[in-house]
Structure 1
Amino acid sequence: PVKFKTPWEWSIAAMRALGMTNVQPGAIAGLLTQLGHPVWKPGQPAGYDDIAASWAGPDAVMRRVEAAERFASRAGGAIDARRLAATLFPGSVSAATTEALARAESPGQALALLLVAPESMRR
Structure 2
Amino acid sequence: MITAGELEEMRADQVALMFDAVVIDRKAGTHWDEEEQATVPTWDPVYSGAARVALPHGTPIVTASGELVVPRTAMVTVPHGTVPDVGDRVKVVGPRPGVPEYVWVQAVEAAAIPTACRMACGAL
TM-score (norm: length of structure 2): 0.27
**Structure that is richer in helix per residue:** 1
Task: Give the structure, 1 or 2, with the largest relative contact order (CA under 8 Å, sep 6 or more).
Answer: 1
**Structure that is richer in strand per residue:** 2
